[in-house]
């Protein structure tokens, strides 16, 4: 097959909407910063597009090309790369080009796929594709250099994707006309901090500034080094405590993961006082209510230490969500990851809506608090807002 014949065949298949996925690789010149390009069809505003994912050494960039404009794009790709792997609906094609564009062609007819998925998301529950190399996941040891998820890190990969889903759901609540300020308290090894930055900055192109805060100096230094190496210039890591962080007057999103006991409440209170639009919090150990519980009607249950501990944790998070509801948020308790992976699987998700508390809501809260003899730390922190 001659070069022009090959190009015309590929273009006809793509214009006929037969494309499922494609990977174009092997740059013709070593100085090309783009290592490979992945293609897939998507639907944007009810129009068919081809999405190009440019994979650089450290970052990914995306471009969406209307189908009618793709001929020029294909010409440019073939000028820059020598290898193509393409899945059409009923055919797999492999192309290898020589320096002088001699074509080595291999094709295999396949059983026609039922339909091409035009969803902008790569997979349900997987906004980060498990077969795509992400520089931050490689550096954090979740993926191999080839972009394959390591077997022992697959649960972490699922957790990261689940968190990115929550970030995607929150997009509608973030400001559109100004830089987005994000704080992550207790960022630790920062898997989720890096995922948040990647998704919002690189995939969605938002103007963001993210700060990860943690008490472990050596961990913070390592995370700062990774951010610098990846070119994440709007992501910083600082050593510090939630109580001592007073550098902000307004924040758009507050993330707090596994802050122990009332440290979670401190972070939630800070978020409310900053008028944060989005709060995402995964609590850790909850001891406060466990020591306060005095509910004779629940003695049959609470006499068991294990049950009491779990009940206190669930009740604590329910109180936290209700307090957030009463100070102008829409708060929910949602499953973060499967219970089989960790019992710390509840995430408090709250969006600022400004809705008002009803008398019935306030009465129900007071009754529940009195039933348990609870004196919530968060309520005291936010007494001026209730």
- What is the spatial distance between Cα 299 and Cα 287, in angstroms, rounded to a whole number? 18
Least reliable range by pLDDT among 79-93, 308-322, 328-342: 328-342
Contact 369, 319 (CB under 8 A): yes
pLDDT of 120 > 80? The answer is no
pLDDT of 342 > 60? The answer is no
Over residues 290-314, the mean pLDDT reads: 91
Give the 3-state secondary structure of the chain: CCHHHHHHHHHHHHHCCCEEEEEEEEECCCCCCCCEEEEEEEEECCEEEEEEEEECCCCEEEEEEEHHHHHHHHHHHHHHEEEEEEEECCEEEEEEECCCCCEEEEEEECCCCCCCCCCCCCECCECCCCCCCCHHHHHCCCECCCCCECHHHHHHHHHHHHHHHHHHHHHHHCCCCCCEEEEEECCCCCHHHHHHHHHHHHHCCCCEEEEEEECCHHHHHHHHHHHHHHCCCCEEEEECCHHHCCCCCCCCEEEEECCCCHHHHHHHHHHHHCCCCEEEEECCCCCHHHHHCCCHHHHHHHCCHHHHHHHHHHHHHHHHHHHHHHCCEEEEEEECCCCCCCCCCEEEEEEECCCCCCHHHHHHHHHHHHHHCCCCHHHHHCCCCC
The answer to whether the Cα torsion of 112, 114, 118, 123 is positive or negative is negative
- What is the spatial distance between Cα 93 and Cα 85, in angstroms, rounded to a whole number? 6
- What is the spatial distance between Cα 264 and Cα 312, in angstroms, rounded to a whole number? 15
What is the homologous superfamily of the domain 135-381 according to CATH? Vaccinia Virus protein VP39 (3.40.50.150)
pTM of the model: 0.67
Return the exposure string of 139-149: e unless at least 16 CB atoms fall within 10 Å of the residue's CB, then b.
Answer: bbebbeeebeb
Phi-psi region of 45 (alpha: psi -120 to 50; beta: other; left: phi over 0): left
Q: What angle do CA 112, 85, 110 make, to 5 degrees?
A: 20
Domain boundaries, the chain: 3-109, 135-381
Q: How many CA within 13 A on the CB side of residue 119?
A: 9
Give the model confidence (pLDDT) of 230-287 as tens digits: 999 999 999 987 777 887 888 999 999 877 778 899 999 999 999 999 999 988 777 8
Q: What are the beta bridge partners of residue 23?
A: 38, 85
Over residues 35-58, the mean pLDDT reads: 87
- What is the spatial distance between Cα 231 and Cα 33, in angstroms, rounded to a whole number? 14
Distances (CA, A) of 26 to 50, 63, 83, 86, 118: 21, 20, 6, 14, 27
Give the model confidence (pLDDT) of 203-230 as tens digits: 999 999 999 998 889 999 999 999 999 9
Give the model confidence (pLDDT) of 76-96 as tens digits: 999 999 999 999 998 999 999
Nearest residue to 160 via CA among 257, 48, 291 = 257
Strands 60-66 vs 81-88: parallel, antiparallel or unpaired: unpaired
Predicted confidence band at 112 (pLDDT cuts at 50, 70, 90)?
Answer: low
- What is the spatial distance between Cα 251 and Cα 277, in angstroms, rounded to a whole number? 8
Question: What pLDDT shows up at residue 340?
Answer: 41
- What is the spatial distance between Cα 55 and Cα 217, in angstroms, rounded to a whole number? 32
Q: How many CB atoms lie within 10 A of CB 105?
A: 14
pLDDT of 103 > 80? The answer is yes
């Amino acid at each position: 097959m001659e070069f022009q014949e090959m190009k015309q065949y590929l273009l006809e298949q793509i214009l006929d909407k037969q494309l499922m996925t494609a990977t174009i690789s092997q740059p013709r010149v070593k100085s090309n910063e783009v290592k490979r390009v992945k293609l897939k069809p998507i639907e944007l505003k009810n129009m068919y597009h081809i999405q190009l994912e440019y994979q650089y050494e450290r970052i990914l960039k995306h471009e969406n090309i209307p189908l009618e404009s793709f001929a020029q794009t294909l010409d440019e790709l073939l000028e820059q790369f020598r290898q193509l792997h393409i899945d059409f609906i009923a055919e797999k094609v492999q192309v290898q080009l020589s320096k002088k564009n001699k074509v080595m062609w291999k094709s295999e007819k396949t059983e026609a796929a039922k339909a091409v998925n035009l969803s902008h998301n790569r997979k349900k529950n997987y906004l980060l594709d498990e077969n795509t190399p992400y520089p931050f996941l490689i550096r954090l040891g979740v993926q191999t250099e080839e972009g394959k998820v390591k077997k022992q890190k697959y649960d972490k990969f699922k957790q990261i994707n689940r968190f990115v889903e929550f970030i995607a759901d929150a997009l509608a609540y973030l400001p559109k006309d100004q830089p987005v300020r994000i704080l992550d308290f207790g960022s630790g090894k920062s898997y989720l901090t890096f995922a948040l930055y990647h998704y919002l900055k690189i995939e969605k192109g938002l103007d963001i500034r993210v700060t990860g805060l943690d008490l472990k100096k050596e961990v913070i230094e390592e995370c700062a080094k990774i951010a610098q190496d990846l070119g994440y210039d709007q992501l910083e890591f600082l050593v510090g405590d939630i109580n001592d962080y007073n550098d902000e007057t307004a924040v758009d999103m507050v993330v707090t993961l596994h802050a122990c006991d009332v440290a979670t409440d401190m972070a939630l209170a800070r978020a409310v006082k900053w008028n944060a639009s989005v709060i995402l919090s995964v609590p850790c150990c909850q001891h406060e209510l466990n020591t306060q519980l005095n509910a004779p009607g629940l003695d049959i249950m609470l006499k068991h230490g294990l049950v009491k501990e779990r009940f206190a944790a669930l009740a604590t998070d329910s109180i936290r969500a209700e307090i957030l509801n009463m100070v102008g948020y829409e708060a929910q308790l949602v499953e973060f990851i499967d219970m089989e992976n960790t019992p710390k699987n509840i995430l408090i998700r709250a969006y600022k809506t400004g809705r008002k508390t009803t008398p019935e809501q306030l009465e129900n809260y007071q009754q529940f608090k009195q039933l348990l003899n609870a004196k919530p730390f968060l309520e005291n922190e936010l007494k001026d807002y209730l």
